[in-house]
A and B are shown apart, each in its own frame.
Chain A
Amino acid sequence: MDFDFIVKSIPLYVKAAEVTLELSFWGILLSLIIGFICSLVIYYKVKLLAQVVQIYIELSRNTPLLIQLFFLYYGFAKIGIKFEAYSCAIFGLAFLGGSYMAEAFRSGLEAVSKIQIETGLSVGLNRWQLMRYIILPQAFSVAIPAIGANAIFLLKETSVVSAIALADLMFVAKDLIGMYYKTTEALTMLVVAYLIILLPISLLLTFIERKVRHAGFGN
């Protein structure tokens, strides 16, 4: 192992990690928004829109991110819709993640029992108040583990964006291998970088999940 090389390449990896994290942040945030809206559309069985959302979810869940990105980035460019690689990556992540988050929220919403809803109605809440005070808080606590798992899944999926020429962690590692043949060093750094990002998040999620599952409300 060439430790000088590793030390010298640290700034490159830090910068690349920033790209990975930034893309993940926006991707996950948009996924949450899209997923939340889609789950409500399905929950309330909004006419027509519910079908559209269902089609989107199936398309998104049954195709690979890499193909979605290529289609978006290279395919759409040729018919006049051009994305920057950066926004394309975020858009692709959101397209993929939106359906996963929608499923997470939806299962949370469906877990709220009919009797809870009726009880909410019987204390005089209107539809909006029912959503705000009864359904959403209960649905969220059920959905949190799935939302967390999806967030990690999306963070890992960002490794694919190097394929559309974005300088993320994967890209830097590939670059260093290609240019200097420092395969072992580059790959070690790559793994270390992902571990530094993913280990704390994954541990935090395990902790939260355990809390939600075993304690529930009132402990």
Chain B
Amino acid sequence: MQDLGINVIFEGSNLLRLLIGLWVTMRIAIVAIAISVVFGIAFGIVMTVKNTFVQIVARLYLEAVRIIPILVWLFLFYFGLTKVLHIHLGAEVVSVIVFSLWGIAEMGDIVRGAITSLPAHQRASGRALGLTDLQIYRYIIIPQAVRRLIPAAINLATRMIKTTSLVVLIGVVEVLKVGQQIIEVSILKTPSASFWVYACIFALYFIICYPISLWSKKLELKWQNQ
């Protein structure tokens, strides 16, 4: 029987190796997402502060992160920072830093949007009931803002997971690199190895991201109809 190319995935420990490679990018994504959520919420609240200086600095940070492609940021931190500061950072650490900086900026903007999009009369009616500012936040603003921001935050998470695939380009050994290694080894025996390996990686990303996007869409629908 002719060798089916797809077997290359299941040969030896290949699939396991791919999964371990995927875990490397996931690890980066998960750590960066966790940092982004915590500091992003703080950054978002800071952005709603009515202080011109604070707003300008926050805006500059956000726009700077946004306008330059993430891959360029990775290069700047990995090659540039090490040279300027004479410190050596591992590719994985650099990745976590860059993705966190990006995530904090985007998460902050989502939080800011969720807070400021609440109609002013919500605050006013809170005050009319005699609530303190803290109570207004606790009982009126946060519960409503959370519903607006969670679907967007989940969306950001899938974007971060997808974008961590770039870390291979600054030398992190992750799923794509492992895939290339597998292809090199098996190319003679299985000429179509690269098709199946890349198809497998494509599928792996889809399997991770699709359920998350479905979830965010579901939440969005649910809260829209309430």
A and B touch in the complex (CB under 8 A): yes
Task: Indicate whether A159 sits within 8 Å of B71 (C-beta atoms), given known contacts A66-B176, A183-B80.
Answer: yes
Task: Indicate whether A159 sits within 8 Å of B205 (C-beta atoms), given known contacts A67-B165, A78-B194.
Answer: no
Q: Is B185 an interface residue (CB 8 A)?
A: no
Q: Is B139 an interface residue (CB 8 A)?
A: no
Q: Is A199 an interface residue (CB 8 A)?
A: yes
How many chain B residues touch A (Cβ–Cβ < 8 Å)? 38
Q: Is B23 an interface residue (CB 8 A)?
A: no
A64, B83: Cα distance in complex, Å? 30
For A160, A162, A170, A187, which residue has the most chain B Cβ atoms within 10 angstroms? A187
Task: Indicate whether A70 sits within 8 Å of B176 (C-beta atoms), given known contacts A64-B205, A159-B71.
Answer: yes
For A66, A67, A198, which residue has the most chain B Cβ atoms within 10 angstroms? A67
Chain A residues with CB under 8 Å of B206's CB are 58-59, 62-63
| Cβ contact within 8 Å between A187 and B210 | no
The answer, among B163, B169, B194, B213, for a CB contact under 8 Å with A61, is: B213
Q: How far is the CB of B109 from chain A (nearest CB, A)?
A: 13
| Cβ contact within 8 Å between A190 and B198 | no
Q: How far is the CB of B141 from chain A (nearest CB, A)?
A: 24
A59, B207: Cα distance in complex, Å? 10
Contact with B along A135-163 (1 / 0, CB 8 A): 00000000000000000000011011011
Q: How far is the CB of B160 from chain A (nearest CB, A)?
A: 11
Chain B residues with CB under 8 Å of A75's CB are 194-199
Q: Is A51 an interface residue (CB 8 A)?
A: no
Chain B residues with CB under 8 Å of A64's CB are 162-163, 165-166, 205
The B interface, classified by DSSP as helix, strand, loop or mixed, is helix
- Quick one: which of B32-82 are within 8 Å of A by CB? 67-72, 75-76, 79-80
A77, B191: Cα distance in complex, Å? 10
Chain A residues with CB under 8 Å of B192's CB are 78-79
Task: Indicate whether A63 sits within 8 Å of B209 (C-beta atoms), given known contacts A163-B169, A183-B80.
Answer: yes
Q: Is A194 an interface residue (CB 8 A)?
A: yes
Chain A residues with CB under 8 Å of B197's CB are 75
Q: Is B193 an interface residue (CB 8 A)?
A: yes
The answer, among A62, A159, A173, for a CB contact under 8 Å with B210, is: A62
Q: Is A191 an interface residue (CB 8 A)?
A: yes
Task: Indicate whether A187 sits within 8 Å of B191 (C-beta atoms), given known contacts A64-B163, A64-B205, A67-B198.
Answer: no
A75, B9: Cα distance in complex, Å? 14
The answer, among B79, B166, B191, B193, for a CB contact under 8 Å with A66, is: B166
Chain A residues with CB under 8 Å of B209's CB are 61-63
The answer, among A71, A74, A170, A187, for a CB contact under 8 Å with B80, is: A187
Q: How far is the CB of A172 from chain B (nearest CB, A)?
A: 12
Q: How far is the CB of B208 from chain A (nearest CB, A)?
A: 8
Task: Indicate whether A76 sits within 8 Å of B195 (C-beta atoms), given known contacts A59-B206, A67-B205, A183-B80.
Answer: yes
Q: Is B84 an interface residue (CB 8 A)?
A: yes
Contact with A along B161-192 (1 / 0, CB 8 A): 01101101100000010000001000000011
Give me the 8 closest cross-chain CB pairs, A-B, nearest first: A75-B198, A62-B209, A64-B165, A156-B69, A159-B69, A71-B198, A64-B162, A75-B195
Chain B positions near chain A (C-beta within 8 angstroms)? 5, 67-72, 75-76, 79-80, 83-84, 158, 162-163, 165-166, 168-169, 176, 183, 191-199, 201-202, 205-206, 209-210, 213
Q: List 27 A-B contacts (CB under 8 A).
A: A58-B213, A59-B206, A61-B209, A62-B213, A64-B162, A66-B176, A67-B205, A70-B176, A70-B201, A71-B199, A71-B201, A74-B183, A74-B194, A75-B194, A78-B193, A156-B69, A170-B71, A174-B75, A183-B79, A184-B80, A187-B76, A190-B75, A191-B68, A191-B76, A194-B69, A194-B72, A198-B68
